[in-house]
Amino acid sequence: MKFPDYFSLALVVALLTGCSEQPIEKLEGAAQGTTYHISYWSPNLTNTAEIKSSIENEFAAIDKTLSNYRKDSDIETFNQAENTDSHPVDAEIVSLVRIAKTVYEASQGCYDLTIKSLFDLWGFKGDTLTIPSDVAIHENLSNIGMDKLEIFDDNHLRKKLPMIKIDLGSIAQGYSVERISKLLEQKGVQQYMVEIGGELKTQGVKPDGTAWRIALERPLPGQKVMHKIITMPKEQPLAVMTSGTYRHYFDDHGKRYSHILDARNGRPVIHNLVSVTVLNSNPTLADAWSTALLCLGRQDGLKAANTANIAALFIEQQGDNLNESQSDALNALNTVTFH
């Protein structure tokens, strides 16, 4: 699954905003183990201090519900209940599980929220790689599978296997982008760019009427430079979510281990696909799909994206070259331009 991206994409976005008569308000801070950057403006200028306070409170509420790093969070309370009873959970968690189940099925099980025990087994939660034995991987695989997680109703989940544990890292950041975007809209802000750890959404235009422009990172280790610029649509909101094997990995005895695990075999992916960027109006869905498509690899990922009508940009590394492929939906997306 995916870790936060520490490349400060929003700083690049700030350089692309240009000058205008009305200033763009900018907020930034730390949240969810990474950073956030928010740019917005409104003809009826809203109190910036109040908005920043509301954003920080929103992050705290999301963290209390969805964080796998807090033992007292709602999701970890569910994880610690090792039985097959129906358990009450926040409606947000059920909603995320529903979305994840659709992506799980579309990816033929490559993408799976119940991969938490495997993620911990490999040591990806910390700073030390632990290469597990085949036996240990096999044992963990027996307690993994979204098909073994039952949605009882809008506020209850049930484990069909007691040891199943959910990791929301591959979907929660996109969901957080949407939550913060909705908060801005509730405050009367309709023109904004919200970025959390490199994942973002824009709506509307800049004060001078031009479109927001977003920089995509070149998907190579240690190269925090621009690869492409996306000019975002003016008429409707759009999220841009990227997953990459180049962002977080371990090198061990000349072999590289990506943090992207294939839930079907319990091992890091080994294909040449290094980055997938998904463009979608729904940040939560885009976040899940970017991880799923990266897990699948270019060939199977393209098939899955085309079947599900997902706009996606695939980048493979072949030696020193980066080769790009686009899904049918991205080719047909005429509201954005790439430079």
**Residue 69 placed within a domain:** yes
Residue 36 has pLDDT above 90, yes or no: yes
Confidence of residue 227 (pLDDT cuts 50, 70, 90): confident
281-320 pLDDT per residue, tens: 999 999 999 999 999 999 999 999 999 999 999 999 888 8
**Residue 265 placed within a domain:** no
Q: What is the pTM of this model?
A: 0.91
**Residue 313 placed within a domain:** no
% of the chain beyond a pLDDT of 90: 73
Between strands 25-31 and 34-41, the pairing is antiparallel
pLDDT of amino acid 254? 57
82-136 pLDDT per residue, tens: 999 999 999 999 999 999 999 999 999 999 999 999 988 988 776 677 889 999 9
Calculate mean pLDDT across residues 180-196. 96
Residue 2 has pLDDT above 60, yes or no: no
Range of the domain at 142: 65-159
Q: What CATH code is carried by the domain that includes residue 155? A: 1.10.3980.10
pLDDT of amino acid 318? 87
Residue 146 has pLDDT above 90, yes or no: yes
Task: Count other C-beta atoms under 10 Å from residue 84's C-beta.
Answer: 14
Number of domains composing the chain: 1
pLDDT of amino acid 64? 97
pLDDT of amino acid 147? 96
pLDDT of amino acid 19? 46
**Residue 103 placed within a domain:** yes
* DSSP letter assigned to residue 277: E
**Residue 300 placed within a domain:** no
Confidence of residue 7 (pLDDT cuts 50, 70, 90): very low
Complete DSSP assignment for 154-215 = TTEEEESSTT-----TTTHHHHHHHHHHHHHHHTT--EEEEEETTEEEEESB-TTSPBPEEE
**Identity (one letter) of the amino acid at 2?**
K
Give the integer Cα–Cα distance in Å for 239 and 287. 9
Confidence of residue 276 (pLDDT cuts 50, 70, 90): very high
Confidence of residue 258 (pLDDT cuts 50, 70, 90): confident
% of the chain beyond a pLDDT of 70: 88
**Identity (one letter) of the amino acid at 26?**
K
**Residue 334 placed within a domain:** no
**Residue 284 placed within a domain:** no
**Residue 26 placed within a domain:** no
Residue 17 has pLDDT above 70, yes or no: no
